[in-house]
Amino acid sequence: MKETVLNKFLRYIAIDTQSDENSNTQPSTAKQLTLSKLLVKELKAMGIKDAALDEYGYVMATIPSNVKKKIPVIGFIAHVDTAPDLSGADIKPQIIENYNGKDIVLNKEKKISLKLKDFPELADFKGKTLITTDGTTLLGADDKAGVAEIMAAAEYIMKHPEIKHGTIKIGFTPDEEIGRGVDKFDVKKFGADYAYTMDGGALGELEYENFNAASAKIKIHGNNIHPGYAKGKMINSILVAMELNALLPVNERPEFTCDYEGFFHIVHIGGSVEEASMQYIIRDHDRKKFEQKKKLIKDCVDFINKRYGKDVITLELKDQYYNMREMVEPHYHVVETAFKAMKLAGIEPIVRPIRGGTDGARLSFMELPCPNIFAGGHNFHGKYEFVAAESMAKATEVILNIIKLYAEK
């Protein structure tokens, strides 16, 4: 299994599938379809006849049940796109077999290394097979590790008809990294009763709680007057932006929060005296606190506008996704089954809230309860990303165990 999933992973990361938040198309980049078409081809080669790619970039496929009794239809989902944060093109993975537990040189020329002092979790992988970047791109384990794991599990099931199972649904989505992963996902067409996203991080992670999320886009309309004659007339958009940011609580920034603590995160600021723009993401696991955070940023905008006596600031506040917990808990067996599947694979489950979101969060609110399972990667969205082949093999084993456990119920 380790060799199978590793070979698939290396094949998939060779394809650039970076999504683009500035695009208005679905999917946001045509290059994502290159991998999606390959996946359909491979699924059909396994004997999964209905594998298909639709006009929106979704791959869906079905492995029919081979038992007579009624078993819940279980889906497994991963996303093909990689994050816009760093290039996903021309990836040159380094395969480190029997890792010695020391610092890893990613790029000797650029003096970039994975250092134990910065990433102490590396010590846990001594003796394992690690796949890293060369320090110039991301790796793509988010979420091509998940894609490879689902594909490896599907191949195993198709090669072993003696394994009893219900109907299994497979789904691959585009544009998850830019928050549009399930914008046009047809839950009814997919046909699963319950599903799992293979989009978590470290070995053992099992998540059914995530942030409530909103975005705040702010435009500031200043008044640029010759500085020699500006008294009482100039409104400097740059200073207004700084003033607004100073009104938000310092201790509610990402660098000062963890666990269930939410935050305001400024992700963009720019402009001139005349015009400026800002963008925040707002996050909190607690729905009440989430609503309070949204109200606070509205109140800050209102305060600035009253201060300057005009609509200097305009605010576009948009909810992005919600905490899946309220939709998953009524079907808690999906969590319990994943928990048991990990135990059977010799893995100690780590149940923790996601300090982010997944396609599964939105799917859960589309009436498809969908917890998130580890894919095995670390340091997503950057040059220090790495994954262990053994972790991917274990994730594949967990998928197979979930399938078997539902068939036994």
Percent of the chain beyond pLDDT 70?
100
Give residue-wise pLDDT tens across range 45-97. 999 999 999 999 999 999 999 999 999 999 999 999 999 999 999 999 999 99
Q: Distances in Å between the alpha carbon of 244 and those of 138, 219, 284?
A: 34, 11, 20
Mean of all residue pLDDT scores within the chain:
96
Which pLDDT value is given to residue 94? 97
Residue 316 belongs to domain spanning: 218-321
Tell me, yes or no, whether 77 and 178 share the same domain.
yes
What predicted TM-score, i.e. pTM, was given to this entire model?
0.89
Tell me, yes or no, whether 310 and 180 share the same domain.
no
In angstroms, the first-to-last Cα distance of the chain is 26
Residue 402 has pLDDT above 90, yes or no: yes
Q: Quick one: DSSP state of residue 49? A: T
Give residue-wise pLDDT tens across range 169-218. 999 999 999 989 999 999 999 999 999 999 999 999 999 999 999 999 99
Which pLDDT value is given to residue 239? 97
Tell me, yes or no, whether 272 and 331 share the same domain.
no
Tell me, yes or no, whether 73 and 174 share the same domain.
yes
Which residues are the active-site residues?
81, 176
Is residue 113 a contact partner of residue 359, using CB atoms and an 8 Å limit? no
- Count other C-beta atoms under 10 Å from residue 76's C-beta: 25
CATH code of the domain containing 295: 3.30.70.360
Q: How many domains does the chain have?
A: 2
Tell me, yes or no, whether 339 and 306 share the same domain.
no
Identify residue 116 by its one-letter amino acid code: L
Answer with the one of 321, 338, 353 that is the final residue of a domain: 321
Is residue 148 a contact partner of residue 9, using CB atoms and an 8 Å limit? yes
Band (pLDDT 50/70/90 cuts) for residue 356 is: confident
Answer with the one of 303, 321, 339 that is the final residue of a domain: 321
Q: Give the list of residues 6+ apart from residue 24 with CB closer than 8 angstroms, or none.
A: none
Average pLDDT value for residue range 131-155 = 97
Answer with the one of 296, 321, 346 that is the final residue of a domain: 321
Band (pLDDT 50/70/90 cuts) for residue 358 is: confident
Give residue-wise pLDDT tens across range 206-231. 999 999 999 999 999 999 999 999 99
Tell me, yes or no, whether 17 and 156 share the same domain.
yes
CATH code of the domain containing 343: 3.40.630.10
Tell me, yes or no, whether 176 and 247 share the same domain.
no
**Distance (Å, whole) CA 371 – CA 363:** 10
Tell me, yes or no, whether 114 and 18 share the same domain.
yes
Residue 357 has pLDDT above 90, yes or no: no
Tell me, yes or no, whether 89 and 190 share the same domain.
yes
